[in-house]
Amino acid sequence: MTAMASSHPHTHPHGSLLDLAPVLPVVVLQDASDAVPLARALVAGGLPAIEVTLRTPVALDAIRAIAGEVPDAVVGAGTVITPAQVRDAVAARARFLVSPGWTDVLLQAMRESGVPFLPGVSTASEVVALLERGVTEMKFFPAEAAGGTAYLASLAGPLPQARFCPTGGIGAADTPEYLSLPNVGCVGGTWMLPADALAARDWGRVEALAREASRLGAATAA
């Protein structure tokens, strides 16, 4: 999976973003100078796909720094909710886009960006609407609050063509159950980025937690 991530920097918009890595770290950065060492720790731990959320003023600078200095990382932008953010993220060299929800205006901007994207859904109707529009890969958010593994398992029967990256409230203990579902390609989470480790800039601990997280996917695949 890492090889795919590294060898296809311009993955087609309908390529399989969900197969880059079993776990997608969701990063909220307060200091752009932390971006590169954090990304290096995640990559070293086996998690090359990294979602940097646009929730903080330094997010675009962080994406730009990771894209420029951590070649083995596949860095994307999360919490993308406007066409302007789509343009800014791609200009900062984000290689994928993730939104908590979607509208036709946002979906069109993400399509036109030329990079893979995961629009967010939390109901069957939203999934059907995206399938109508030719989108089969999406983010399920907020995963635990919206019904968790039971909800996703229920969608697999009537809507088997939809594949998901569930994110929101998921921890290491929940991840194997999510990854065992036929319609889940990867899981987004923050548990490998504990606040105290980030505050202390303890990149060794982040790398160790990332390595444990990457093994959750390997165990499920086996």
The alpha carbon of 34 is separated from its chain's Cα centroid by a whole number of angstroms, namely 19
DSSP 8-state secondary structure symbol assigned to residue 190 = -
212 in active site: no
List pLDDT tens digits, range 59-94: 999 999 999 999 999 999 999 999 999 999 999 999
Please report the pLDDT score of residue 222 as a whole number.
55
Report d(CA 210, CA 2) in Å as an integer. Answer: 14
Report d(CA 115, CA 90) in Å as an integer. Answer: 8
Please report the pLDDT score of residue 180 as a whole number.
96
pTM for this entry: 0.91
**For residue 198, what are the β-bridge partners?**
none
**For residue 27, what are the β-bridge partners?**
52
Residue tagged active-site, from 139, 144, 177, 207: 139
State the distance between the two ends of the chain, measured CA to CA, in whole angstroms: 15
Please report the pLDDT score of residue 220 as a whole number.
67
Residue tagged active-site, from 51, 69, 126, 212: 51
Report d(CA 52, CA 62) in Å as an integer. Answer: 8
Please report the pLDDT score of residue 221 as a whole number.
59
Report d(CA 152, CA 183) in Å as an integer. Answer: 7
List pLDDT tens digits, range 19-68: 888 999 999 999 999 999 999 999 999 999 999 999 999 999 999 999 99
207 in active site: no
What confidence tier does 16 reach under pLDDT thresholds 50, 70, 90?
Answer: confident
Q: What is the mean pLDDT of residues 180-188?
A: 97
Report helix, strand or coil for 166: strand
Please report the pLDDT score of residue 134 as a whole number.
97
Please report the pLDDT score of residue 70 as a whole number.
98
Strand order in the sheet with 120-121: 120-121, 137-140, 163-166
